[in-house]
Amino acid sequence: MRLAIYPGSFDPITNGHLDIIRRAQRLFDRLIVAVMANPSKHPLFTLEERRRLVERSLQERNIHEVEVIARDCLLIGLARELGAAAIIRGLRITSDFENEFQTALTNRDLDSSIESVYLMTNRDYSFISSSIVKEVKRYGAEVSRFVPQVVERALGEKFQKV
């Protein structure tokens, strides 16, 4: 059974992320979405909130048979622990490539048995990022074109508290 991990901070998950999940699911026997802590980012949602939003978003979009976990660890160590054959990443724009290339080389150096697999984003989602979604919603604009309803509601609740 070929297992892949799709890691990310998912703060919050977007329609672009969900598109990558659907497509990756077709390529592998088993897919795990790993909501990861990232010490270089300051997330709006806690790790557990992000995990729940990913699960609810998958349910909302009728995406089944995807496991969702939350971890604060080194990704390649998690991939090794779970027996993953591949790490899935999405590429939107050229600046994504530079960072992903560096990360892939580092991961390969740490464990050459785990492949990095890149899926080009659907052009409809190429401009969407979690950061942009949060900024737009912070100022009260609708983001339903970019995220599932459950995420838009959660963002609205967060920004009412700010």
134 is catalytic: no
Out of 22, 92, 108, 158, pick the active-site residue. Answer: 92
64 is catalytic: no
Please give the Cα distance from 71 to 78 (Å, whole number): 8
Q: Which residues face 90 on adjacent strands?
A: 119
41 is catalytic: yes
Out of 41, 138, 145, 153, pick the active-site residue. Answer: 41
User: Could you tell me the two tokens for 107?
Assistant: 């991961």
130 is catalytic: yes
Q: Are strands 115-120 and 30-36 parallel, antiparallel or unpaired?
A: unpaired
Please give the Cα distance from 51 to 24 (Å, whole number): 19
Please give the Cα distance from 22 to 42 (Å, whole number): 27
Out of 50, 71, 89, 130, pick the active-site residue. Answer: 130
Would you please indicate which residues are annotated as catalytic (active-site) residues? 17, 41, 92, 130
